[in-house]
Structure 1
Amino acid sequence: MKYRFYYLLLPLLFSGCAQLPKTEVQQNSSWATQQAQLEQLTDWSFSGKLAIITPEERNSVNIHWQQTAQQFHIRLTTFLGMSVLEIQKNALQTVVIDADGKHYVSDNSEQLIKDLSGMELPINQLQQWIKGNPSDASYQLNENHQVSHLLGNDQTGGIWVIDYSDYRSLNNTNLPHRLQLTRDNLRLKFAISKWEITAPTQTN
């Protein structure tokens, strides 16, 4: 499975990506205001590209991530739309679907992804980190009260360094459109082209 996973990945082509038009960043009065908005943001999705860079390989996939509270659905596809990996998590378990359509089930998202694809992805922490919310991590802020640098641990104790850039405002919430995660010799570069925010369903 791991060999097929890397065979499907695209050569890294970030340098040729078109630049998205800039949007004005909402000016928050404080980091407390910014973080409160991010904490309240539980239902969201984004689309973009994910580059996976090691000393031996540089590859890229399309990524679409949909989050609803603690449940998520992540799809990795090639430039032509072929499925590379699909990850679905609900309250009970994680299901990973490989490029051949085979289903694998576990209660450990990160380990299952690594076992099937060889890819290390701090899924549990990324549910907050991807928004620029430094949950359980040390961080630095920029002049606009946004996280510019983060240092945190994944569930195995591995140390990740994240650098954020290109924040843009959506519904008065500032969200990062470019971030780079580094762990040892592994780099993961997210180039997010579109964020969507969904209001959580109200129950009586």
Structure 2
Amino acid sequence: MKAIFLLLLLPFVLAGCAQIPAPQNIPWTSHQQQINELNEWDFTGKLALITPKERHSLNIYWLQSGDDFHISLTTFLGSTVLDVKKTQFGTQIIDNNGDLFFGMDTEVLINKLSGLIIPIDLLQQWIKGNPNDAIYQLNENNQVLSLSGIDKNRANWIIDYSDYKVTQGIYLPHKLQLKRDHLRLKFAISKWQINHANMDSH
């Protein structure tokens, strides 16, 4: 009888262990060191681009490997809007017509081909909640709540962060909103992955 009771109790014990939350209130210096050292990652999610006159919603996949990255923007039906690959040799972009373009400045090339304004250079750190070259405010868990930074075109961006979740022991934001003048970029990240060896396998 005792053995049967223990067997019945075991699933509840295991469920309780699985639901133990990750530790909160990690010191900011420790958390920032973690995200500073995080140079190999990718995520999938949604990106909404909002202006007073229009709104567009896209799927986004972003793979970062050191200073190189691959960003894919697609419609909800899976059609390519922009496919961006940046290496030390420059940036190549495939547009929605399948045409290939090449340039040395990713932000300029994206804007030229699509009209989109995305602060890619700074966003490689900001997307992780790392406030490089920005004024920032922390939340009660010592994660970035908001930041204000200036891009290379001297435009001011404000970012609000929410919904941090743990990925392999590191807290990463799953919702953030970038604001510049009348433009808003809203990221809803569904899944982070870290520690990719390189970009060649993707």
Hey, what does 2:12 align to over in structure 1?
Answer: none
User: Aligned pair 1:116/2:113, yes or no?
Assistant: yes
Could you list the runs of 5+ residues in structure 2 that have no partner in the other structure? Answer: 1-18
Question: SS at the partner of 1:182?
Answer: strand
- Once the 2 structures are TM-superposed, how far is the Cα of residue 24 of structure 1 from its aligned partner? 4.0
Aligned letter for 2:172? L
How many residue pairs get aligned? The number is 180
Counterpart position of 2:28: 31
C-alpha separation in 1, matches of 2:100 and 2:196: 31
- 1:1-204 to structure 2, matched below 5 A, reads 24-198=21-195, 200=197
- Please report how far the alpha carbon of residue 199 of structure 1 lies from its aligned counterpart in structure 2 after TM superposition: 5.1
Distance verdict in 2 for CA 1:23–1:161, change over 3 Å: farther
Structure 1 residue matching 2:34: 3-state secondary structure: helix
Q: Which AA in structure 2 matches 1:44?
A: W
Letter of the 1:56 counterpart: K
Deviation of the 1:181 alpha carbon: 0.1
Contact 2:65 / 2:196 at 8 angstroms: preserved in 1?
no
Q: Percent identity?
A: 52
CA shift, 1:26, in A, is 3.9
Larger Rg: 1 or 2? 2
SS of 2:111 mapped into structure 1? helix
- Corresponding residue number in structure 1 for 2:8: none
Distance in 2 (alpha carbons) for counterparts of 1:151 and 1:100: 36
- Give the 3 Å change call, closer, same or farther, for CA 26–95 of structure 1 in structure 2: farther
The Cα RMSD (Å) is 1.5
Consecutive unaligned residues of structure 1, counting only runs of 5 or more, are 1-21
* Structure 1 residues 42 and 23: CA distance shift in structure 2, 3 A: farther
State the Cα distance separating 1:200 from its structure 2 match: 4.7
Q: Structure 1 residues 42-51 or 93-102, which shifts more?
A: 93-102
The aligned amino acid for 2:52 is: P
Query: Structure 1 length as normaliser, TM-score?
Result: 0.85
Q: 1:24, 1:169 within 8 Å by CA — same for their partners in 2?
A: no
Q: Which amino acid aligns with 2:98?
A: G
Contact 1:26 1:173 in 2 (8 A): no
